[in-house]
Chains A and B, each alone.
Chain A
Amino acid sequence: MSMEKIIVRELNLWYGEKQALEDVNMQIRENRVTALIGPSGCGKSTFIRCLNRMNDRIEGVRITGKVEIDGKNIYDKDVDVVALRKRIGMLFQKPNPFPMSIYDNVAYGPRIHGTGDKKKLREIVEDGIRGAALWDEVSDRLETNALDLSGGQQQRLCIARTLAVKPEIILFDEPCSALDPIATGKIEELIHDLKREYTIVIVTHNMQQAARVSDYTGYFLLGEMIEFGKTKKLFENPHKKETEDYITGRFG
């Protein structure tokens, strides 16, 4: 039985006057994959961005409630957001490598966090790229521009970049929505491997994907979390009518 890594209590979020999240409670377990599903606009992406305070950067956003990581509320006043984001990596819908070499992309994080030693840096970069199952494909061309990689490779490069910062938690915000099925398969495999060392939260619009990769699933609708539980149970025997409707395709 694993520990709770993240505990969300009574989380509310407003964009100006519009409430986008309503009283969300959730317990996310360490070294497990938690998937968040629901129709578009249901608040699942907004929610995942609360976990590393990415929403801070958006104008007019107001948040109440708590998000506790290892028991510490990340919305407390004394929290250093930058240090927080170091602990929580994030992947986005569209792969977003920086316009620099493959090596520099992965070295970006360690460099800004003060790793100056060339040998050490090289090790971190290699570990990151290996961890993202990309090493065999790029080890001979680390100095080429990252934008030359295919979409799937770019997304794995972004994962490598995240691993190089040595986070504890990795958030995936629809990481495969811009990828083809083969690239998607590789990322899913990777997520499966990564959970041994990391706690993973993934937002997806693809129910099969949630069923394939996750241990726990939360179903969001109109800013509320309707149901949360073990993936197998939620898909095979949902408690709530709304969940069943969505899963069986009668909704959305």
Chain B
Amino acid sequence: MIGKKQFNAEAIAKRTLFLFAITGALILFLIVVFIFKEGLPIFNQINPVDFMLGGEWSPSKDVYGALPFIAATILITAGALMIAVPLGISCSVFLAEIAPKWARELVRPAIELLAGIPSIVYGLFALVVIVNTIEVSFDVPTGESILAGSLILAIMILPIIISISQDSIEAVPRAYKEGSYAMGATDTQTITRIVIPTATPGIVAGIILGMGRAIGETMAVVLVLGNVEKIPTNLLDQGEALTSVILLEMGEAAVGSPHYNALFALSMILFMIVFSLSSISNHIIAKRGLRPG
């Protein structure tokens, strides 16, 4: 009655599914190998420090300095965070703590929708509306600027910051808040002294993830920065982001040429920044048992 083991089918299925499961890791590995393989050769003709800190980028002269792009990316990202962080935190406090049901049911889908709008549509909107508004209000020859990039990126990273912060705020134990209220604290005191400090690691994870998105964003940024290869010094200056250079110049770079290698080297930089940021925030999120973004 009790026969021999016959788990062959299960073993085969398990092995097949394992192959599926490691496909993601395999793709990641291939991506790393490819961009490093194509990017590293540029350092045969220029040392990494000069590449990162060089102020001039002229493929026709075989000069590759990435500083203008790095600077522009840092500036638009910083600008975006300055707008999105306060707005995002206060919106997530609103959703998690004080919003009546109807308001939550209005705001949540709105945020989901913001997250779903394709980046190229944001770019188009920014080019037509934000750039023109800047042009008119600051009376400058063109509104294509760091400011325009920051504004549209801020809108684009709000959903990710809000959703992770909100989870984190909702995870603050009720007992903490009740303890605070029981001692006669006001709403303001409870929110600023108990809720936000307790939720800080999660909020930080959301901000870091948003930062990664901003640095890697391509389509919205390329349409509004003006794409001028110089180091921007103020908010109304034009500039060109790391992602933009890759997008704009890859088509014209001959395969295997130094220009081609230099563009891959830019994507190496991009990859390393974004990979570190995502590792940090995923580490925080996993540690606190929050839902990943």
Residues of A bordering B, CB below 8 Å: 69-70, 72, 74, 78-80, 83-84, 87
- When distances are taken between beta carbons in the complex, the residues of chain B under 8 Å from A79 are 2, 5
- When distances are taken between beta carbons in the complex, the residues of chain A under 8 Å from B6 are 80
A87 to B6, CA, bound (A): 17
Q: Does B287 contact A (CB under 8 A)?
A: no
In this complex, the member of A72, A80, A87 whose beta carbon has the largest number of chain B beta carbons within 10 angstroms is: A80
Give B158 Cβ to nearest chain A Cβ, in Å: 38
A–B Cβ pairs within 8 angstroms, 16 of them: A69-B2, A70-B1, A72-B2, A74-B2, A78-B4, A78-B5, A79-B2, A79-B5, A80-B2, A80-B3, A80-B4, A80-B5, A83-B1, A83-B3, A84-B2, A87-B2
Give A164 Cβ to nearest chain B Cβ, in Å: 18
Q: How many A-B residue pairs have CB under 8 A?
A: 19
A78 to B4, CA, bound (A): 5
Give A195 Cβ to nearest chain B Cβ, in Å: 21
Residues of B bordering A, CB below 8 Å: 1-6
Identify the closest chain B residue to A79 (Cβ).
B2
In this complex, the member of B2, B3, B4, B6 whose beta carbon has the largest number of chain A beta carbons within 10 angstroms is: B2
Identify the closest chain A residue to B10 (Cβ).
A82
- When distances are taken between beta carbons in the complex, the residues of chain B under 8 Å from A87 are 1-2
- When distances are taken between beta carbons in the complex, the residues of chain B under 8 Å from A80 are 2-6
- When distances are taken between beta carbons in the complex, the residues of chain B under 8 Å from A74 are 2
A84 to B5, CA, bound (A): 11
- When distances are taken between beta carbons in the complex, the residues of chain A under 8 Å from B3 are 80, 83
A-B contacts besides A74-B2, A79-B5, 10 pairs, CB < 8 Å: A70-B1, A72-B2, A78-B5, A79-B2, A80-B2, A80-B4, A80-B6, A83-B1, A83-B2, A83-B3
A122 to B5, CA, bound (A): 30
- When distances are taken between beta carbons in the complex, the residues of chain A under 8 Å from B4 are 78, 80
A242 to B181, CA, bound (A): 50
Give B243 Cβ to nearest chain A Cβ, in Å: 45
A183 to B162, CA, bound (A): 49
Give A2 Cβ to nearest chain B Cβ, in Å: 19
Give B212 Cβ to nearest chain A Cβ, in Å: 35
Identify the closest chain B residue to A78 (Cβ).
B4
- When distances are taken between beta carbons in the complex, the residues of chain B under 8 Å from A72 are 2
- When distances are taken between beta carbons in the complex, the residues of chain B under 8 Å from A69 are 2
Give B164 Cβ to nearest chain A Cβ, in Å: 31
A69 to B2, CA, bound (A): 10
In this complex, the member of B1, B3, B4 whose beta carbon has the largest number of chain A beta carbons within 10 angstroms is: B1
A174 to B63, CA, bound (A): 78
Identify the closest chain A residue to B6 (Cβ).
A80
- When distances are taken between beta carbons in the complex, the residues of chain A under 8 Å from B5 are 78-80
A201 to B5, CA, bound (A): 26
Identify the closest chain B residue to A76 (Cβ).
B2
